[in-house]
Amino acid sequence: MDGNGRWAKKRLLPRFIGHQKGLNAVKRVVSHCASIGVESLTLFAFSTENWRRPEEEVSKLMSLFLKALQREVSKLDENNVRLQIIGDRSAFSEEIQSNIALAESKTSSNSGLVLNIAANYGGRWDIVEAVKKWQKAHPENSIEQLDEYALNDYLCLAGLPEPDLLIRTGGEQRISNFLIWQMAYTEFYFSDVLWPDFDEAALDKAIQSFSMRQRRFGKTGEQITAC
Ligand code: IPE
Ligand code: MG
């Protein structure tokens, strides 16, 4: 979700207002995904690198995160959304951590959209953690027994399908340490729309583009059209 700061700057507003408007875009996109039957949506809210931002911006982002956890979870629950926070939550305040736990347990039995919020998340961190968890779960195994399939069960999105589509807004064309393992065969879609302006129509456009792609997973185009 990129472009909050630029959205605000264009209007001579503080960056934080861009983040607030970005939260509105999150609400729009989540409810649209729930209503069109998306199975799983992962939003990159805060990366392991975002701590490097000015202290004031980080602290305002943390307040916004807390407020969203406190105010938006009932609505998610009503919409049958299961919320999961992925990332290293130990760096967050006690208050945020307890609100995360509350939000996850409140929505844990919901069967609709799985909404993963990546917060203090990094793809490299996810892979290293998965290796550690695998080793802890199988102390008798040698590292030689570790393979791609075994590791899958210990990554943050274990049990969920690999993402079909990545949307990056704000005109950047980078993965920025997002779900680097899980996106081996994801289709990428880059949009110049700044995140606060991203809406239902912009999402439909991305899905439309995705639906025109031929996914070959290493095979030839002829093999795919033959089946
Ligand atoms: C993304 O918007 C939001 C977060 C990282 C929390 P940016 O803050 O990166 O917006 P730009 O790139 O400065 O426009
Ligand atoms: Mg940015």
Distance 85 CA to ligand 2 centre (A): 21
- Ligand with smallest separation from the Cα of 5: 1
The pLDDT of residue 56: 97
Q: Which residues contact 221 (CB under 8 A, 6 or more apart)?
A: 214
185-208: b (≥16 Cβ within 10 Å) or e: ebbebebebbbbbbeeebbeebbe
- Classify domain 4-215 at the CATH superfamily level: Decaprenyl diphosphate synthase-like (3.40.1180.10)
The pLDDT of residue 78: 96
The verdict on whether 79 is a catalytic residue reads no
The verdict on whether 2 is a catalytic residue reads yes
Q: Check if 60 has its Cβ closer than 6 Å to any atom of ligand 1.
A: no
> Where in the chain are the domains?
4-215
Instruction: Please give the single-letter amino acid code of residue 36.
Output: I
The pLDDT of residue 38: 98
For the chain, which residues score pLDDT lower than 50? none
Using an 8 Å Cβ cutoff, are 115 and 43 in contact? yes
The pLDDT of residue 158: 97
Q: Which residues contact 37 (CB under 8 A, 6 or more apart)?
A: none
Given 2, 4, 99, 126, the catalytic residue: 2
Quote the pTM value.
0.96
The pLDDT of residue 107: 98
Question: Which residues place a Cβ less than 5 A from the ion ligand 2?
Answer: 2
The pLDDT of residue 215: 87
- In tens, the pLDDT along 138-157 reads 999 999 999 999 999 999 99
User: Helix (H, G, I), strand (E, B), or coil: what is residue 178?
Assistant: coil
Determine the angle formed by the axes of helices 94-107 and 55-78, rounding to 10 degrees.
20
The pLDDT of residue 50: 97
- Ligand with smallest separation from the Cα of 194: 1
The pLDDT of residue 88: 98
Using an 8 Å Cβ cutoff, are 150 and 134 in contact? yes
| Cα dihedral 209, 84, 174, 130 in deg (nearest 10) | -120
The pLDDT of residue 185: 96
Distance 189 CA to ligand 1 centre (A): 18
